[in-house]
Amino acid sequence: MQRCVNVIGVGMSPLRTTTLGPDPAVPVSGTIRQALSDASLSASNIATVYAVSCMMDGVTLQRALQRVGLGQAPLCHFPEGGVDGSALLARACQAITLGQAESILVLGVQSAPVAPGPFFEQLGTTARDYMVRYQARPETFAMIAVKARQHAALNPMAAFNRTLSLEQVLAAQSIAEPLTHPQFAWGSSGVSAVLLCSGEFARRHCSGPRVRIAAQACVSPQQVSGLDRVSSFAGVDYDVNVAAARELYEQAGRGPQEVAVCELHDASTVSELLLYEALGFCPEGCGEKMVEDGDNTAGGNLVVNPSGGLLALGQASAASALAQCIELVQQLRGSAGRRQVADAQLALQHQTGADGTVTTTLYQRD
């Protein structure tokens, strides 16, 4: 029998462009304590721990768990190269949905920044192709980077939170024409922790605002291999994102027009613009209009990446997906401070895993 999944506790360290420090167990244990405190729970309430740690050994992880009283809790640990944060979150949700656990601490640890993969030129080519197909301007992509930094200026957790003007973005070092340095997500390190539980557990233990997962869809490139991939931007797996969004909305019985806030995988500014279309927030070819009209930020129809996104938080494969979840939970609780999206009821998370699998999740305030 399937059960609903609730998010009842969150915690994270600032994301930075340096390592976690000489003893990573310190920020890890501190982040776990944040999540436990946020949920008003003790370590004894946690049935199991799911963790992915990039560049952090198992001994250090166990030391961090022991410091917070979780040394004896069953641990499902995925080291570097195992799974990333998005796959870990999906596995934990599935375990609760299937009744395999009542409560799970999901922990992502990125001990040191990792350089992005060698996809810069491919993304530049995608941007140029989009410009030709839809007569878009290079300024449109740059405006997304400006928006990311504006959002991040309100987020002390962001690694890159200095605001940039449109002129500064355009004049920055060219990485893959027309995209410049601030238009890519660079590596960062940090820790994120999320406490998931069943609905029954939440009713027993959660006295604050409740956020539940309304639907979740995971789609791999292999699952859409039969589609006509010539007609879209196959180089960035556009069709996989379309399929993941379609399945998500069908599961939930909701539509993209109902989403108030979204955290998506902005590996680059062109990636973000294409995701506006793939996720159904605007028709194909209308991403530029959405940017130009300001419909991706405060005052528009949808706020995209209020945290600053990967463009500003930095890309930490073990921790980024959980950081997205944390931002959306805070938005739905109404506790996001100066980043708060007014009266947010439904939020969408999008993340692309290391193997190309796209995970989309809808969160709802109860």
CATH number, position 361: 3.40.47.10
* Residue 68 pLDDT greater than 60, yes or no: yes
Please, are residues 134 and 288 in contact by the beta-carbon 8 Å criterion? yes
Average pLDDT over residues 147-155: 98
Whether residue 224 is found in the same domain as residue 264: yes
Whether residue 307 is found in the same domain as residue 178: yes
Higher pLDDT, 57 or 284: 284
**Triad 16, 22, 24: Cα angle to 5°:** 65
Average pLDDT over residues 133-160: 98
DSSP 200-221: HHHHHH--S--EEEEEEEEE-G
Distance CA 337, CA 197 (A): 25
Whether residue 354 is found in the same domain as residue 231: yes
What is the token pair recorded at 55?
């560049």
Q: Model confidence at 117, in pLDDT bands (50, 70, 90)?
A: confident
* Residue 142 pLDDT greater than 60, yes or no: yes
The boundaries of the domain holding residue 27 are 5-114+188-211
Whether residue 283 is found in the same domain as residue 345: yes
The reported pLDDT for the residue numbered 206 is: 87
Q: How far is residue 324 from each of residues 125, 164, 282, 366, measured CA to CA in Å? A: 28, 22, 22, 19
Average pLDDT over residues 313-324: 96
Could you identify the residue written with the tokens 């729970």? 41
Whether residue 139 is found in the same domain as residue 257: yes
Q: Following CA atoms 37, 43, 49, 53 in sequence, which dihedral angle do they give, to the nearest 10 degrees?
A: 60
Weakest mean pLDDT among 96-110, 198-212, 214-228, 304-318: 214-228
Whether residue 34 is found in the same domain as residue 166: no
The reported pLDDT for the residue numbered 57 is: 86
The reported pLDDT for the residue numbered 230 is: 47
* DSSP letter (8 states) at residue 152: H
- Per-state percent for the chain, helix, strand, coil, to nearest 5: 40, 20, 40
Could you identify the residue written with the tokens 């060698």? 118
Whether residue 220 is found in the same domain as residue 240: yes
* DSSP letter (8 states) at residue 317: T
* Residue 228 pLDDT greater than 80, yes or no: no
Q: Model confidence at 226, in pLDDT bands (50, 70, 90)?
A: low
Distance CA 317, CA 312 (A): 14
Q: How many CB atoms lie within 10 A of CB 187?
A: 17
Average pLDDT over residues 255-280: 97
Whether residue 146 is found in the same domain as residue 256: yes
Q: How many CB atoms lie within 10 A of CB 354?
A: 14
Whether residue 207 is found in the same domain as residue 273: no
In 3D space, the residue among 218, 255, 246 whose CA is nearest the CA of residue 346 turns out to be 255
What is the token pair recorded at 362?
């809808």
Whether residue 51 is found in the same domain as residue 177: no
Buried b (16+ CB within 10 A) or exposed e, 247-266: bbbeebebebeebbbbbbbb
Distance CA 322, CA 107 (A): 8
Whether residue 164 is found in the same domain as residue 105: no
What is the token pair recorded at 121?
């030129």
Q: Following CA atoms 10, 268, 363, 96 in sequence, which dihedral angle do they give, to the nearest 10 degrees?
A: -70
Please, are residues 208 and 10 in contact by the beta-carbon 8 Å criterion? no
The reported pLDDT for the residue numbered 366 is: 85
* Residue 152 pLDDT greater than 80, yes or no: yes
Please, are residues 218 and 359 in contact by the beta-carbon 8 Å criterion? yes
The reported pLDDT for the residue numbered 231 is: 47
Report helix, strand or coil for 356.
coil
Instruction: Tell me how many helices (H) and strands (E) the chain has.
Output: 12, 12
Distance CA 13, CA 31 (A): 6
Distance CA 327, CA 336 (A): 7
The reported pLDDT for the residue numbered 82 is: 67
Q: Model confidence at 227, in pLDDT bands (50, 70, 90)?
A: low
Q: How many CB atoms lie within 10 A of CB 176?
A: 20
User: How many CA atoms within 13 Å lie on the side-chain side of 6?
Assistant: 23
Distance CA 150, CA 277 (A): 22
Whether residue 266 is found in the same domain as residue 193: no
* Residue 13 pLDDT greater than 80, yes or no: yes
* Residue 1 pLDDT greater than 50, yes or no: no
Burial class (CB in 10 A: 0-12, 13-18, 19+), 230: exposed
Question: Domain total for the chain?
Answer: 2
